[in-house]
Chains A and B, each alone.
Chain A
C-alpha cells in the first residue's frame, strides 16, 4: 500500500508542477464572473442559472482534467524513459497501475472540491445557497464518476499511445453520458439487431447519468435516498475495479525495450 501511495505522491508532485488546476480555476472563475455580471432584467437574487451553468462547467472541467491526468501517466513514464528503471525496482505492474490511478483520481477529486467551492462562492455572492446535504451527495457521486473515468483512461493508456487513449476515452465517456440515458426511448423504435445492440450497449457501458445530481441540486428537490446512493457508489466501485483489472491484464505481459521507449 505504501508503494501505491508513493507513486500517487509522484503524480501529485507532477500535477503541482504543471499548474493545470490553477489555470482551470481561473477559467471557471472567469465564466462565473461573466454569469454574475449578466443583468437579468434588473432582478436580484436570481441564482438558478449561475448554479446550473457553474455546475455544468464543473462537470466539463473535471471530466477534461480526469482524462488528461489519468491518460498520460503510463505513456509519460515510457516517453521519459523512467519506466524501465521503475519496473526494475520491487514495484509490480499492478502496484504501478493502482498508484498512477490513485494519484490521478485523488488530485482530480481535490480539484473537484476547489471547483465546487468556487461555484458555491459565486452562488453565495449572488445571494443564493445550496442544500448542503444534497451538495455533499452530489460531490460524492461526482467523485465516484471521476474514479470510473480515471480507471477507464488508465485502462486505455496501457494498450494505446497517449493521443489514441485520450481520444478513445473522450469518445467512450461522452457516448456513455449522452447516448445511454436515451436508449430506453430509442428501443421503442428499434427492431431486431439494432435492439440487441442497444441492449448490449446499455449493460456494457458505464452509466454516468447516475452520478449527476445537478437537477436535484439546482431545483432544490432535497437530498437523494442514502440507500440508493450507497448502491450507486458500490456500482462505481465495481466498475472501477473492472477497468483497473482490464488495465492490469493489458499491462502485465506487455514487453518494453529501451529502443522502443527512447
Chain B
C-alpha cells in the first residue's frame, strides 16, 4: 500500500514539475534576448513534435473561429440512439466568432507560435485577427514584428506588413515592404507542395506593386509589374484590360488606389474556407 502511495506522490510531483517547467519556458521564450537559445534547446528536446504541437494548437484556433464546431468527416449513419443523442448535445450549426469574440482565438495562436516560432502561418493569422477582428492595428504590427524577428527570411511577413500599410493608407511605407517581400520570395526554394502558393503570392506582390507605381504616376513600372503577373496567370482578364488602357495612355475608370484598397481589404468571412451551405451564425461582442 505504501509503495502505491509513493507511486501516486511521485507521479503527481513529476506532473507538477512539468507544468511549472512548461509555464516557465513559456515566459522565458517570450524574451527577445533568449529566444534563439530557447528555441534551440526546445528543438533539441522536442524535435519534430514541436511542429506537431504547434499545428494542433493552430487547428484549435480554427475550432474557436467556428465556435467549437469541428469540420465533419464523411461518416456512415449507425442506427440506434447514440447518433441522435450526440447530435442533440453537440453544437453542429456552422458559426463564426467575430468582433470581440475573435479575441478568444488569439491564445491558441500565441501558444502555436510559442510551440513553434517558425510557424509563420500562425503569426499571420494572429495578425489578421488582431487587425480585422479586434480592430487593433498596433497589435497586428507588433505580432508581425515578432514574426519577422524570429523568421527574417520569410517573404510572407513583409507582404502582410505591406497589406496592413495599404489598408491604413500608408502607401509610401508599403512600397519598400513589397520590394523586400519580392526579394525574399525570389530566394524561397520552390517545392512541389508550395509551387502554387508561391506563384499566387508572387502575383499578389506584383499586383500590389503595380498599383502602387500607378498611384505615383510610374506607368512604365506599373505595366512591367502587370505584365509579369499576366505571364504567371494569362487568364486574368482585368489585368490584361488594365495594361491595354495604360499602354494606350487612357485613365482607367477604377483608380489604382481604390482597387488597392479593395483587394487588400479582408473580412472574417474570407477567413472561412468552407464551401458548405450551412446556416451561418456570427457572434459579436
> Given the complex of chains A and B, what is the CA–CA distance between A191 and B64 in angstroms?
35
> B106 touches which one: A40, A68, A76 (CB < 8 A)?
A40
Which of the four size classes fits the interface of chain A? 35 or more
In the complex, the chain A residue whose C-beta lies closest to that of B57 is: A49
Tell me the bound Cα distance from A213 to B156 in angstroms.
39
Task: Type the 1/0 row for A13-47, where 1 means its CB is closer than 8 Å to any CB of B.
Answer: 00000101001101100110010011111110111
Which size bracket describes the interface of B in this complex? 35 or more
Q: Are A224 and B78 in contact (CB under 8 A)?
A: no
List of A residues within 8 angstroms of B12 by Cβ: 23-24, 27
Contact B76 A41 (CB under 8 A): no
Stretch at the interface among B80-88, B174-182, B223-231, B259-267: B80-88
Say whether, besides A30-B20, A31-B19, A41-B143, A224 and B5 are in contact (CB < 8 Å).
no
In this assembly, does A187 line the interface, its C-beta being within 8 Å of a C-beta of chain B?
A: yes
The listed residue (A27, A47, A49, A79) touching B108 by CB distance below 8 A is A49
Asked whether B172 is an interface residue with its Cβ less than 8 Å from the other chain, the reply is no
Contact residue among B69, B89, B91, B111 (Cβ-Cβ distance under 8 Å from A228): B89
Chain B positions 59 through 76: 1 when the CB is less than 8 Å from some CB of chain A, otherwise 0:
000001001110001111
Which residues of chain A have C-beta atoms less than 8 A from B83's C-beta? 184
Q: Are A221 and B68 in contact (CB under 8 A)?
A: yes
Q: Which single residue of chain A is at the shortest CB-CB distance from B4?
A: A72
Contact B78 A184 (CB under 8 A): yes
Contact with A along B130-149 (1 / 0, CB 8 A): 10001000010011000000
Assess whether A139 is interfacial by the CB under 8 Å rule. Answer: no
B1 & A76 in contact (Cβ 8 Å cutoff): yes
Beyond A34-B19, A41-B106, A187-B75, whether A225 also contacts B143 by CB under 8 A is no
A37 and B23 within 8 A (CB): yes
Q: CA–CA, A105 to B139, complex, Å?
A: 48
Residues of B within 8 A of A232 (CB): 85, 89
Given the known interface contacts A30-B20, A184-B77, the answer about A43 and B103 at a Cβ–Cβ threshold of 8 Å is yes
Q: What is the bound-complex CA distance between A216 and B92, given in angstroms?
A: 10
B33 contacts across to A, CB distance below 8 A: none
**CB-CB < 8 A to B20: which residues of A?**
30, 34
Count the A-B residue pairs with Cβ separation under 8 angstroms: how many?
A: 122
Residue of B nearest to A44 (CB): B103
> In this assembly, does A185 line the interface, its C-beta being within 8 Å of a C-beta of chain B?
yes
A228 to B90, CA, bound (A): 11
State whether A210 touches B106 (Cβ < 8 A): no
List A residues 64-78 near B (Cβ within 8 Å).
68, 72, 76
**Counting CB contacts under 8 A, is B15 at the interface?**
yes
Interface: A9 (CB within 8 A): no
A231 part of interface (Cβ distance < 8 Å): yes
Write out the residue numbers on chain A whose beta carbons fall within 8 Å of the beta carbon of B103: 40, 43, 45-46
Extra 18 A-B pairs, beta carbons < 8 Å, given A47-B104, A181-B86, A187-B75? A30-B20, A34-B19, A34-B20, A34-B22, A34-B23, A38-B23, A41-B110, A45-B103, A80-B1, A183-B78, A184-B83, A185-B73, A187-B76, A209-B86, A210-B86, A216-B89, A216-B91, A224-B89
Residues of chain B at the chain A interface (Cβ within 8 Å): 1, 4-5, 8-9, 12, 15-16, 19-20, 22-23, 26-27, 30, 64, 67-69, 73-78, 80-86, 88-91, 103-104, 106-108, 110-111, 126, 130, 134, 139, 142-143
Cβ contacts A to B, 12 pairs, < 8 Å = A42-B139, A43-B103, A46-B107, A49-B104, A183-B78, A185-B73, A207-B85, A210-B82, A215-B68, A219-B64, A219-B91, A228-B84
